[in-house]
């Protein structure tokens, strides 16, 4: 797969400022993944060695209840160049990625799933993209046949809706699998919000980006953690985090309906003058009553969504809590080839 689709052409490339021998941080959120970690380390390790760069892994144990932490600790004891961040409970992948970004030391950072659905064989191409001057090189899933039809079509709808409503452009089918330059990581670290919808934040910070198409294979081992209810809530987080359009819709909807209601009221009053009072009208009353109560509940619910987000942001709680950090023998920034 050597066809790079350049999502945008930028005039200013900043490759001249970049370190010759960058330190690479590989951020890996893990949640109950003991089974797949050995496969991941074997495949990814080979590729990382081939790049010839200094690298460190940043594993985030997102409150796993299986042997995930033990497996990683064991690996670190045996010399794996890794940092293991243990979160105090399961905070979800978005928070885990934020933790990883906070604790990555690299000049470049690559975020990757542990289940090998993000093929590590793309890492060298990502680094090439970075050397060519791109600050972001993101994987673009051209073939999602490993996902169900339902997941694919709902995902497509979500991306379409998001890009219509939000003022930023989120490339459809781009996952979290991506390379970020230090500049981008620092930009992300400056964003204070608690609602970490990372795909939206990645898009929001901007920077020259390149797409790297790939076919997404099925998970190597273990089970996926998503279900439709979680995805639905994730979508609401995404939308409410990046657009207030749903609130504005009710303003226009309300204006239109009041206009219609006013005209109808006028008509009713005039009719009384000309043809006298008529009693029947139960159906029309009932219909309007139900219709408007429905709309009111819906719009209150929508406002509630935003109020609840405000509530969460106002509490100023941290995005995640670190329980412990296990530091392996990781290479120092731009030093020899100690791996
Ligand atoms: N993950 C996590 N916390 C969670 C759920 C998932 O850190 O609460 C990690 C998981 O271990 C994996 C990655 O996020 O490395 C993607 O998870 P999964 O394969 O379940 O998602 P999918 O591939 O279906 O998007
Ligand atoms: Mg997966």
pLDDT in tens, 171-225: 888 889 999 999 899 889 888 888 788 888 888 888 888 888 888 777 777 777 7
Is 94 close to ligand 1, i.e. is its CB under 6 Å away? Answer: no
Looking at per-residue pLDDT, the higher value among 105 and 233 belongs to 105
Per-residue model confidence (pLDDT) at position 10 = 41
Is 96 close to ligand 1, i.e. is its CB under 6 Å away? Answer: yes
Distance separating alpha carbons of residues 83 and 104, to the nearest angstrom: 9
Is 162 close to ligand 1, i.e. is its CB under 6 Å away? Answer: no
281 dihedral zone (left: phi>0; alpha: psi -120 to 50; beta): left
Q: Collapsing DSSP states into helix, strand and coil, what is residue 129? A: helix
Distance separating alpha carbons of residues 96 and 112, to the nearest angstrom: 12
Region 69-90: what's the mean pLDDT? 94
Which residue's CA is minimally distant from atom 23 of ligand 1?
224
Q: Are strands 54-61 and 82-87 parallel, antiparallel or unpaired?
A: parallel
Which residue's CA is minimally distant from atom 19 of ligand 1?
224
Q: Per-residue confidence at 338, pLDDT binned at 50, 70, 90?
A: very low
Region 82-111: what's the mean pLDDT? 94
Q: How many CB atoms lie within 10 A of CB 231?
A: 14
143, pLDDT greater than 60: yes
Which residue's CA is minimally distant from atom 11 of ligand 1?
30
Report the candidate in 109, 309, 94, 307 with the shortest Cα–Cα distance to residue 200.
Answer: 94
Is 30 close to ligand 1, i.e. is its CB under 6 Å away? Answer: yes
Residue 199 CA, ligand 2 centroid: distance in Å: 16
Region 145-173: what's the mean pLDDT? 82
Residue 139 pairs with which residues in a beta bridge?
Answer: 212
Per-residue model confidence (pLDDT) at position 335 = 46
Is 118 close to ligand 1, i.e. is its CB under 6 Å away? Answer: no
Which residue's CA is minimally distant from atom 12 of ligand 1?
113
Is 62 close to ligand 1, i.e. is its CB under 6 Å away? Answer: yes
31, pLDDT greater than 90: yes
Percent of the chain residues topping a pLDDT of 70: 92
DSSP structure class, residue 5: B
The pTM (predicted TM-score) of the whole model is 0.74
């Amino acid at each position: 797969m050597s066809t790079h689709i350049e999502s945008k052409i930028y005039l200013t490339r900043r490759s001249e400022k970049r370190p010759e021998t960058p330190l690479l941080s590989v951020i890996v959120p893990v949640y109950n993944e003991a089974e797949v970690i050995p496969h991941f380390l074997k495949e990814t390790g080979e590729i990382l060695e081939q790049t010839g760069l200094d690298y460190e892994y940043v594993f985030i144990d997102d409150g796993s209840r299986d042997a995930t932490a033990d497996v990683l600790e064991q690996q670190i004891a045996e010399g794996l160049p890794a940092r293991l961040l243990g979160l105090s409970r399961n905070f979800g992948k978005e928070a885990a990625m934020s933790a990883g970004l906070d604790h990555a030391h690299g000049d470049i950072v690559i975020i990757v799933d542990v289940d090998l659905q993000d093929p590590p064989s793309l890492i060298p191409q990502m680094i090439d993209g970075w050397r060519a001057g791109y600050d972001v090189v993101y994987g673009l899933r051209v073939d999602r046949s490993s996902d169900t039809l339902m997941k694919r079509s709902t995902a497509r709808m979500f991306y379409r809706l998001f890009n219509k409503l939000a003022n930023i452009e989120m490339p459809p089918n781009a996952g979290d699998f991506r390379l970020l330059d230090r500049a981008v990581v620092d930009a992300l670290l400056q964003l204070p919000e608690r609602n970490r919808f990372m795909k939206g934040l990645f898009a929001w910070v901007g920077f020259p980006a390149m797409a790297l198409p790939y076919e997404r294979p099925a998970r190597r081992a273990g089970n996926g953690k998503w279900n439709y209810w979680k995805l639905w809530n994730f979508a609401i987080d995404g939308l409410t985090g990046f657009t207030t359009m749903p609130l504005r819709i009710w303003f226009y909807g309300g204006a239109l309906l009041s206009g219609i209601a006013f005209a109808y009221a006028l008509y009713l009053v005039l009719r009384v003058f000309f043809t006298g009072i008529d009693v029947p009208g139960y159906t029309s009353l009932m219909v309007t009553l139900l219709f408007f109560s429905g709309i009111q509940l819906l719009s209150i619910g929508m406002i509630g969504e935003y109020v609840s987000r405000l509530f969460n942001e106002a509490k100023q709680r941290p995005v995640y809590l670190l329980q412990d950090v296990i530091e392996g023998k990781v290479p120092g920034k731009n030093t020899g080839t100690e791996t």
